[in-house]
Amino acid sequence: MDKPVTSSAQETALACIDGIQPLLSAWTRTIFDFGETAWREYQSAAWYVDRLKREGFSVEEGSGGMPTAFCAHWTNGDGPVIGMYGEYDAVPGNCQDAATVKRARPGLGVEAGGHTDPHSGLGIGSLGGLLAAKAAMLEHGIKGTLRFTGEPAEKVRGSKPIHAAKGYYDGLAGMISFHPFYMLPLCNTARWDTHCGAAYAMIYRFVCDEPENWGRAASDGAPIPQAHSAVRAPGANDALMMMYMASKALRDSMLTHQGGWSISEAILTAGQATADNLPAGLAEIQYMIRVPTIRMAEQVTAVLDRNAEAAARMSGCRYERHWVSKSRPGLANHAMADITYAALSTVGAPQWNEEARAIAREVQVNAGGEATENPFIDELERLITPREAEAILRRDLPPSQVNSTSDDYTDMSWHAPTSRFYVARPALRAPKGHTYPAWVMNALGGIPATIDPMVTCAAKTVALTALRLLEDKAARDAAMGEFVERTGGGVGGSNWIAPLCDYEAPINFRWPEYVTTPRGRDWWIPAASTA
């Protein structure tokens, strides 16, 4: 594929990003330090909303019924509508400072939230591209509209299925999806055929609201059992544990091993730690199913439903199933992949200077390794074409498997031609037999010298892709033509998969968050006293 000639508008966008690079760096660190987790990204979302309003965008706050989501628009007249987005949720238990040693951010414990992917750089990279595209549209009189959605709770595949079902991706000429690299060979490239698969996430809630019906009436007629050893309903905790163990034991019977599927669980806290001898009245467990196909997700869900019903009956409870996510598998678009990879090729792979390498060497030593002349893996500073990456990715997959791994950008791909591209983030070279702990990549994702090259490269790629779609009608028509063909007629076509979301945003569960109490501001698990 020949590298396209850069248009005047694209040159303007590249210059714009070079000019605002210090701002992008500072903004990335701001979101990194917020470290807010799924459905509770209040400061992060407010920051984006404020920034976008300052930049002249009209912003719908709380879009799709999600308090930490938003949808922003800026228009320069009638023309194509191009979509981009930011993510900003962090991960509990990963509170790492932007430092070369293992330590939590000031005033917090390691249990608090921290950016692992990092979504802090993901969102600001996309925002930088958005602002540069806007500047170029203004200077060169390019007609069209830019749409930028704020996407909370990606770690539980939260917002995009909801936004999709409520129409926020409709009417787009193209959607540009950026993610920091997290696996080889998907580094400095765009996905080709094998896009991410389906994902279902749900919470099973066990409620023991009639414990008196468990045993026979007490012979002494006392309204409250007088002995702690009296017969009582097992309660919600027992139901949860039976659900947990039964689902573990039956994992091999849910699906065949073929297809690279996975299921994980998380127990949500429901309190009652200070109760006496009463049966637990409520307990919750969340499951996340990552599978290539919707049919596979439905099979696992049926098994989990049966397990929940059995566990509830055995423990004097009832159960409820609440959806967190139902996300579709991804739809490829070669035309969009070519457009975005051409933009990435124009920008070039990110490069790390000696300051970044010195920092990386310090981290190598502090993480139990040895400093190397080039502390980063070779793949970070070179491109790989989408077709080459696809060929490597397919080596370990059966021919029948169309989708692999999991991410909810896939819901966007059924509403508009979508490109998914990856830019290198800092990853350290390790001696044979040595594995770096998780804090290492988390820290490198917050230190400006090590994360800025990724953010800048991503911003330029997003901007060039957006402008190509706005200026090049033939390229835009090719992407839409392919979308129509693959879906059997576009949105609503014979091969189109409709949104699976038939639930409201699951915002009212006990998701971990930062809290303010008489003891001060803290993570929901109080930090250990340092006194």
Instruction: Tell me what pLDDT residue 521 has.
Output: 81
Question: Is residue 495 included in any domain, yes or no?
Answer: no
List the helix and strand counts (H, then E) for the chain: 13, 13
Q: Say whether both 482 and 403 belong to one domain.
A: yes
Among residues 452, 470, 487, the one where a domain terminates is 487
Dihedral sign of CA atoms 25, 27, 28, 30 in order:
positive
Residue-wise pLDDT tens digits, 316-333: 999 999 999 999 999 999
Same domain? For 359 and 296 the reply is: no
* Helix, strand, coil % over all residues of the chain, rounded to 5: 40, 15, 45
Nearest alpha carbon to residue 181 among 519, 445, 419, 402: 445
Determine if the peptide bond prior to 118 is cis (ω within 30°): yes
Question: Looking at the domain assignment, is residue 86 inside a domain?
Answer: yes
Confidence of residue 531 (pLDDT cuts 50, 70, 90): very low
CATH number at residue 344: 3.40.630.10
The Cα–Cα gap between 261 and 233 comes to 36
Does residue 498 belong to any structural domain of this protein?
no
Q: Does 185 share its domain with 235?
A: no
Q: Examine the domain organization and report whether 192 and 68 are in the same domain.
A: yes
Q: Is the same domain home to 341 and 310?
A: no
- 8 Å CB contact between 198 and 327: yes
Instruction: Give domain status of residue 526, yes or no.
Output: no
* Residue type, position 159, single letter: S
The mean of the pLDDT values for the chain is: 93
Q: Which residue has the higher pLDDT, 302 or 527?
A: 302
Answer with the one of 276, 299, 328 that is the final residue of a domain.
328
pLDDT of residue 313: 95
Query: Which region among 228-232, 249-253, 423-427, 435-439 has the lowest average model confidence (pLDDT)?
Result: 228-232
- pLDDT at residue 239 is higher than 50: yes
In angstroms, the CA 175 to CA 163 distance is 14
The secondary element (H helix, E strand) that includes residue 52 is helix 42-54
Question: 4 pLDDT exceeds 70?
Answer: no
Residue 297 sits in the same domain as residue 204: yes
Q: Are residues 337 and 429 in the same domain?
A: yes
Is residue 170 located within the same domain as residue 203? no
Residue 203 lies in a domain: yes
**Does 306 share its domain with 357?**
no
Claim to verify: residue 403 and residue 324 sit in the same structural domain: no
Residue 252 neighbours by CB under 8 Å, 6+ apart: none
Which domain covers residue 453, as residue numbers? 8-197+330-487
Q: What is the pLDDT of residues 71-112, one digit of tens each?
A: 999 999 999 999 999 999 999 999 999 999 999 999 898 999
Give the 3-state secondary structure of residue 185. Answer: coil
> Is 165 domain-assigned?
yes
User: Where does 279-414 show beta strands of DSSP type E?
Assistant: 282-291, 318-327
Grouping H, G, I as helix, E, B as strand and the rest as coil, residue 379 is helix
Shared domain for 189 and 246, answered yes or no, is no
- Which pLDDT score, from 0 to 100, does residue 500 have? 98
Residues 6 or more apart whose Cβ sits within 8 Å of residue 148: 52, 57, 71, 72, 73, 83, 84, 85, 86, 126, 127, 130
Lowest mean pLDDT among 49-53, 185-189, 369-373, 439-443: 369-373
Q: Is the pLDDT of residue 276 over 70?
A: no
457: pLDDT strictly greater than 60: yes
Assess whether the previous peptide bond of 437 is cis (omega < 30° from 0).
no
- Dihedral through CA 109, CA 112, CA 118, CA 121, nearest 10? -90
Which phi-psi region, left, alpha or beta, contains residue 158 (left: φ > 0; alpha: ψ -120 to 50)? alpha
How far apart CA 62 and CA 68 sit, in angstroms, is: 6
Residue 334: closest CA among 479, 491, 186, 465: 479
Residue type (1 letter), 272: Q
H or E, element range at 47 = helix 42-54
Q: What angle do CA 239, 245, 250 make, to 5 degrees?
A: 120
CATH number of the domain that residue 286 is part of: 3.30.70.360
How many domains does the structure of the chain reveal?
Answer: 2
Flag whether 443 is in a domain. Answer: yes
Q: Does any domain span residue 521?
A: no
Question: For 334-402, where are the alpha helices, taking DSSP H only?
Answer: 334-347, 354-366, 386-394
What distance in Å separates the CA atoms of residue 69 and residue 45, rounded to the nearest whole number? Answer: 7
Please report the sign of the dihedral spanned by the C-alpha atoms of residue 17, residue 21, residue 23, residue 28: positive
Q: How many CB atoms lie within 10 A of CB 447?
A: 21
Q: In this structure, are 312 and 338 located in the same domain?
A: no
Q: What is the pLDDT of residues 183-224, one digit of tens each?
A: 999 999 999 999 999 999 999 999 998 887 887 655 556 666
